[in-house]
Amino acid sequence: MDEDELKGLWKKTVKRLELEEILKDGEVKGALLKIPRYLFVEERYRGYAHVDEPLPIPAGQTVSAPHMVVIMLQLAKLRPKMKVLEIGTGSGWNAALIAELVKTDVYTIERIPELVEFARKNIERAGYSHRVHVIQGDGTKGFPPKAPYDRIIVTAGAPDIPKPLVEQLKPGGKLIIPVGNYHLWQDLLEVIKLPDESVRVKNHGGVAFVPLIGEYGWHG
């Protein structure tokens, strides 16, 4: 498939997400059109990148389905200049979308070295390597050097809300995280840190993510 065909299929996917009333935010739509998912998968999966399902990436991980990425980005209500930490870089697609929305530096952590390299290459090809900083490590501990954050977006499923992530949010900041079972089912939580440092949690329903593995996540 050539680039024009891939672009055409991707535009149709974005239109369909809009018709299904999943995609509602004009800024998120603009970012999706600018940064198609086919730039973030291996050559052999490019022809499937428009399909609204997760796709395999190296090391047995996945790049999330477009509708899931839209739901999480819209929940995060990203605005220019916000300081954002993403946990679970994977392909780097979501991190590039975040960078397009906040128009400033984004920090993203990935535990698997092979994926750090994969994501860096993809991000560079998409033209976002100046703004997206891919860090190798255990994201359940957050990334203290750049804390506090306006938003922390976790794209893997945790057994619980990791304490360090709440600590590294600004008052009024938000953590978006799937919390629940290992592999099968989680609830997508929006955790808002209130000015008195307590949290309010809103549940946005069932999702399915690969596990968040680390000190404050699943063990092994």
Active site residues: 64
**44/198 with CB nearer ligand SAM:** 44
Peptide bond into 148 cis (omega under 30): yes
Q: Does 209 bind ligand SAM (CB under 6 A)?
A: yes
Using CB under 6 A, pick the residue from 36, 66, 90, 180 that binds ligand SAM.
90
Using CB under 6 A, pick the residue from 71, 78, 115, 188 that binds ligand SAM.
115
Q: Does 109 bind ligand SAM (CB under 6 A)?
A: yes
The two three-digit tokens of residue 200, written as one number: 């309010």
**42/197 with CB nearer ligand SAM:** 42
Beta bridge partners of 167: none
Q: Does 140 bind ligand SAM (CB under 6 A)?
A: yes
Using CB under 6 A, pick the residue from 87, 152, 165, 207 that binds ligand SAM.
87
100 alpha carbon, distance to own chain's centre: 13
Q: How far is the CB of 2 from ligand SAM (least distance, A)?
A: 24
Task: Tell me how many residues contact ligand SAM (CB under 6 A).
Answer: 26
Q: Residue 92 to residues 18, 170, 172, 192: CA-CA distances in angstroms?
A: 23, 24, 27, 25
Q: Does 94 bind ligand SAM (CB under 6 A)?
A: yes
Using CB under 6 A, pick the residue from 156, 165, 169, 188 that binds ligand SAM.
156
Of the candidate spans 9-17, 133-141, 144-152, 170-178, the one that interacts with ligand SAM by CB under 6 A turns out to be 133-141
Using CB under 6 A, pick the residue from 155, 169, 176, 207 that binds ligand SAM.
155
* Binding-site ranges for ligand SAM (CB under 6 A): 61-64, 87-88, 90-91, 93-94, 109-112, 115, 138-140, 155-156, 209-210, 212-214, 217
